[in-house]
């Protein structure tokens, strides 16, 4: 898109593109791909981004390569780790710009 392309947009469309509070409009396929990606992602790096999660307390429970899926599907999952995952999911569900907002984060929350 070049400068002349912006001149051709209707004002309403331009305003919509610039609205940072507007929903991102992720499709169901995007949401499914985001969920698959998140389940395969290393756990601790994402948990560290959530306010109130004490990552140093979780480090002995999950190695640096432990994924969300591995933590959730462990035969005897650590309760503190599951609580941190739920807090992470609650935090992400509220981020409307995230492809995990809504359905994907809710799936992780309830697992």
Whether pTM > 0.85 for this model: the answer is no
pLDDT band at 15 (very low <50, low <70, confident <90, very high): confident
DSSP the chain: --HHHHHTS-HHHHHHHH-TTS-----HHHHHHHHHHHHHSBHHHHHTTSTT--HHHHGGGS-TT-BHHHHHT-SS--HHHHHHHHHHHHHHHT-TTSTTTTHHHHHHHH-
- Structural domain spans, the chain: 27-110
pLDDT tens per residue, range 53-97: 999 999 999 988 999 999 999 999 999 999 999 999 999 998 877
pLDDT tens per residue, range 43-56: 999 999 888 899 99
């Amino acid at each position: 898109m070049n400068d002349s392309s912006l001149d051709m947009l209707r004002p309403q469309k331009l305003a919509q593109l610039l609205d940072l509070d507007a929903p991102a409009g992720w499709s169901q396929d995007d949401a499914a791909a985001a969920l698959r990606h998140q389940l395969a992602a290393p756990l601790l790096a994402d948990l560290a981004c959530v306010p109130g999660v004490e990552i140093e307390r979780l480090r002995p429970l999950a190695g640096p390569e432990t994924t969300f899926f591995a933590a959730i599907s462990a035969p005897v999952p650590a309760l503190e780790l599951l609580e941190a995952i739920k807090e992470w999911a609650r935090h992400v569900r509220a981020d409307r710009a995230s492809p995990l907002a809504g359905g994907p984060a809710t799936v992780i929350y309830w697992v």
